[in-house]
Each structure stands twice: as C-alpha cells, then as structure tokens.
Structure 1
Amino acid sequence: MTKVVGSTLYLRTASGETVKVKTTGTTKIRIVEDGKLRDLGAGATVVVQGSTGQDGALTATSVNEGSGR
C-alpha cells in the first residue's frame, strides 16, 4: 500500500502498477483484529477483495493486512 486518501487506498502490485481501491462503510478492514482504514499506513502489505467498477477502480468488500501467504 502506498497511500490512503479519504476512503481510497492506493496499492502497488508486484509488477509496479498502481491500483486505486475504493472502500465503503461496509468494507471490512482487518489488522490482526477488525480495524479501520486509518489503521493502515503507507508500506503496509494488504490483501484486497472486491469488484472493479467501470472507472477501473476496485471497490473493496474487505482489506486484510498481511501477505495472504
């Protein structure tokens, strides 16, 4: 994760591409235990689940801290 702006977070993929991820009031943010978007910081490794909208941004249903490995 590179930054958080409002309710949107920006991720850098392994290939270096930047991905815009929108969150909503129902997006689950987990950091060992349930958290809030503000609990994540730049440089965090996150796993995002959601769907891509027509604008190309992903709207997250969940964001989990950690590599998912």
Structure 2
Amino acid sequence: MSLTGGNRNDVTQLLPLLDKIPAIAGRVGRPRRRPDALLADRGYDHDTYRRLLWARGIRPVIVRACVESGPRGSG
C-alpha cells in the first residue's frame, strides 16, 4: 500500500506503484512481476509515462486528454 499527501499528483506514484507489484504465482517457471497492460485515465496521458511503461514491457492503455469521453448529462 502506498500513502501520499492529499495534494500530491497521482502520476508521481505510477512507477513506484508498479515496482511494488508482488510476483504472481500459479504457473510453472519464473513468476510474473509485471502486468501485460496498464489501463489509466486522462491524468496519465503524457508521452514520458507511455515510454517508461513500454520500456518496462507494459502496454499503456491510456485515454488521450483531447478525446471526449462520451455523451454529457443524463439526458
């Protein structure tokens, strides 16, 4: 578990959080330490974080900040 101050930006904890993922047991061989992909919202939409995830072998699935999420309001 990771605890930060209320006014800290979440993206500062992205890489430390990935480093804290425990080994995933259950299969024969060396246990996995990283997920195949990371799903994130617009707050993580920056090329720097995308490159860092690719470098770790993790496919970033991050919504682009300039893309509207869908219809607004309940109608």
TM-score category of the 2 structures, normalised to the smaller one: under 0.3
Of Structure 1 and Structure 2, the greater strand share is in 1
Question: If you compute each CA radius of gyration, which structure gives the higher value, 1 or 2?
Answer: 2
Alignment TM-score, normalising by the size of structure 1: 0.18
Of Structure 1 and Structure 2, the greater helix share is in 2
Alignment TM-score, normalising by the size of structure 2: 0.18
Higher relative contact order, structure no. (Cα contacts within 8 Å, ≥ 6 residues apart) = 1
